[in-house]
Each structure stands twice: as structure tokens, then as C-alpha cells.
Amino acid sequence: RKEVEQDPGPFNVPEGATVAFNCTYSNSASQSFFWYRQDCRKEPKLLMSVYSSGNEDGRFTAQLNRASQYISLLIRDSKLSDSATYLCVVNVYNFNKFYFGSGTKLNVKP
């Protein structure tokens, strides 16, 4: 079973739309959770950490559900510049590595 699973998409949405991605993780000992974005042929860039109580950063809201072992990312008022692949990343406590999902591709169209 994969450590982190994501719907690969693509999600094709118009500008201004609200879009949500989910991610599930398999290891209940997972400790830290993140969303990264990756543009084509570029490095992953941290979008936001995901805290237990959920957190918001501008148009982006991240939620964590430990009981169901999933993480979500909500993007409101989508911009063309939001087009990218969104990577769900999980770090298991005491293991010095980050597990990456395969990413969800978002295309925001005018």
C-alpha cells in the first residue's frame, strides 16, 4: 500500500472557482503534514504546513483528519497562477524522510 495517495487529476476549473484536493496516508504514526506545489520541471515549493486544528493562508485552507487519515487542501477564488501539481507530503515521527504523494494536477482556465 502506498504511504501517501492522491487523485492525480487533472482538475480543470475556471478562474474564480473553488477546488478541493484530498490526500490519504497509511501510517497512523505520521506526525507532520504539508502541501507543496510543483510547477512543470521545477522543484517542490512549500505551500503550507497542515496543523492539527486546520489552518488558512489567504485563499488556501488545509485540514487534517487524523481519525480518517486524510488531509485536504481547499483553494478559493482560483487564479491562473494556481495551475500546478499539488503534492501531499507526510513525515512519520522518528523517520527522517518525507513521503510524497504522486501529486494532483490543477489547471485553472480563463
Question: Using CB under 8 A, which of 22, 44, 67, 81 touches another protein?
Answer: 44
Surface-to-core class of residue 33, CB atoms within 10 Å of its CB (0-12 exposed, 13-18 middle, 19+ buried): buried
How big is the site for another protein, counted in residues (CB under 8 A)?
26
- Residue 92's DSSP bridge partners are 30
Contact 1, 26 (CB under 8 A): yes
Q: How far is CA 10 from CA 7, 13, 92, in A?
A: 8, 9, 28
Which x/- pattern, by CB under 8 A, does the window 64-93 give for another protein? -----------------------x-x-x-x
| Residue 103 touches another protein, criterion: CB under 8 A | yes
| Residue 52 touches another protein, criterion: CB under 8 A | yes
Enumerate binding residues for another protein (CB under 8 A).
31-32, 34, 38, 41-46, 49, 51-52, 87, 89, 91, 93, 95-103
